[in-house]
């Protein structure tokens, strides 16, 4: 490539567009974080909706209807309400031969018999507000191979009292269930416990765990890299559309063109730059030269020591049409000030010079 940008140029290019790049990075990272926050928020909203459960009175009203008058969604709401704040405990039933009596459905049916319910109500002084088959649930715990008795009425305090009553029933008063007379009951917990349910904290931690801290960091870093690339792309688009000549602009129109990239020089002052440009102009052997520039730098060339030293026949103009005819120059030098000289001016100058068979030197600074 004829014009490969140096590190300092690239740094200047990035520095000039630092606001665009920074804004792109912030926007992309914000989108990623908003996506993460939205997932947490939507999970929380779903959790809030799930917490709006039926009261005992509403449950009673529904279950007292005729089956054909109950809608499917109402049954689902009843199940969700009964499942909240359930209390229970795990137990094992062992036969004399030390094998386990493992029939949760049968145990459940025994625990909701009328005589057992009467015993529980007498012990607690509580009238069971719902049919026992809705309140009592015995399930198998696949992790411990034990059975778990759950009490769910839709009222946490009522659940605690009924669960405690069943706890005492299986622990000390097994005579109420004749089937247990020749068996040994082992209760695993010291007292009934509440069934774990999702909380707002669980929702947040679950979402964080889903993304994971490492995943979130990787996502943010990836977003920053993508934002950086997007910012550079936007700067390139901006440079492509800007009216002035940017970095890496194609200045060569002909193979014979000479392009001097003085913007790549390490300079201490604008006077040093002026001297180097003047030196490049006056040091070539041609005697008739035309200097074209859109800004005022060209007029400062005459004030340099090189103009006085070499006394070259140098004509300075802003436009080709300003030069008097006939056009007798041996060399045309075009000064291009990066990010200041307009593309339109440069294109017009190059199109006009196509009329002449003359060497063109471009100095970009």
**Both structure tokens of 140:** 């198998």
Domain ranges of the chain: 1-82+197-241, 85-193, 258-364
**pLDDT of the residue at 205:** 58
Q: For residue 38, is pLDDT > 60?
A: yes
Q: For residue 176, is pLDDT > 70?
A: yes
311: left (phi over 0), alpha (psi -120 to 50) or beta: left
175: left (phi over 0), alpha (psi -120 to 50) or beta: alpha
Q: For residue 323, is pLDDT > 80?
A: yes
Q: For residue 233, is pLDDT > 60?
A: yes
Q: What is the mean pLDDT of residues 209-228?
A: 78
Contact at 8 Å (CB) between 171 and 187? yes
Contact at 8 Å (CB) between 151 and 163? yes
Q: What is the mean pLDDT of residues 2-25?
A: 73
pTM: 0.45
Instruction: Report how far residue 75's alpha carbon sits from residue 62's, in angstroms, rounded to the nearest whole number.
Output: 8
**pLDDT of the residue at 1:** 44
**pLDDT of the residue at 287:** 72
**Both structure tokens of 124:** 């607690």
Query: 258-364: which CATH number, 3.40.1010.20, 3.30.565.10, 3.20.20.70, 3.20.20.105?
Result: 3.40.1010.20
**pLDDT of the residue at 198:** 58
102 contacts: CB under 8 Å, gap ≥ 6: 93, 140, 145, 147
Instruction: Report how far residue 130's alpha carbon sits from residue 203's, in angstroms, rounded to the nearest whole number.
Output: 31
Degrees, nearest 5: CA angle 240-246-248: 90
Q: What is the mean pLDDT of residues 42-68?
A: 74
Specify whether domain 85-193 bears CATH 1.10.150.130: no
Instruction: Report how far residue 66's alpha carbon sits from residue 1's, in angstroms, rounded to the nearest whole number.
Output: 86
Q: For residue 49, is pLDDT > 60?
A: no
């Amino acid at each position: 490539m004829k014009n490969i940008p140096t590190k300092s140029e690239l740094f200047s290019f990035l520095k000039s567009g630092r606001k665009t790049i920074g804004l792109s990075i912030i926007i992309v990272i914000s989108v990623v974080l908003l996506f993460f926050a939205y997932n947490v928020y939507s999970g929380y909203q779903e959790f809030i909706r799930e917490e709006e459960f039926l009261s005992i009175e509403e449950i009673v009203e529904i279950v007292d209807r005729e089956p054909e008058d109950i809608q499917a969604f109402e049954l689902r709401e009843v199940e969700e309400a009964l499942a909240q704040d359930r209390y229970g405990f795990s137990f094992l039933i062992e036969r004399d031969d030390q094998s386990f009596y493992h029939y949760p459905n049968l145990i459940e049916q025994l625990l909701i018999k009328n005589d057992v319910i009467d015993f529980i109500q007498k012990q607690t002084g509580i009238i069971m507000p719902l049919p026992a088959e809705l309140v009592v649930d015995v399930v198998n715990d696949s992790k411990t191979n034990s059975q778990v008795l759950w009490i769910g009425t839709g009222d946490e305090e009522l659940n605690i009292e009924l669960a405690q009553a069943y706890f005492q029933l299986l622990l000390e008063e097994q005579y109420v269930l004749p089937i247990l007379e020749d068996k040994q009951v082992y209760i695993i917990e010291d007292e009934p416990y509440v069934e774990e349910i999702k909380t707002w904290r669980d929702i947040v931690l679950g979402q964080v765990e889903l993304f994971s801290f490492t995943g979130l960091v990787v996502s943010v870093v990836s977003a920053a890299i993508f934002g950086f690339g997007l910012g550079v792309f936007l700067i390139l688009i901006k440079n492509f559309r800007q009216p002035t000549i940017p970095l890496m602009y194609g200045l060569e129109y002909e193979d014979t063109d000479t392009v001097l990239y003085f913007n790549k020089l390490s300079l201490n002052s604008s006077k040093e730059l002026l001297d180097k440009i003047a030196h490049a102009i006056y040091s070539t052997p041609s005697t008739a030269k035309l200097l074209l520039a859109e800004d005022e730098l060209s007029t400062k060339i005459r004030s340099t020591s090189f103009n006085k030293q070499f006394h070259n026949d140098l004509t300075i103009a802003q436009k080709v049409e300003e030069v008097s005819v006939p056009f007798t120059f041996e060399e045309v030098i075009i000064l291009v000030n990066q990010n200041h000289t307009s593309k339109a001016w440069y294109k017009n100058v190059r199109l006009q010079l196509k009329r002449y068979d003359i060497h063109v030197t471009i100095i970009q600074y």
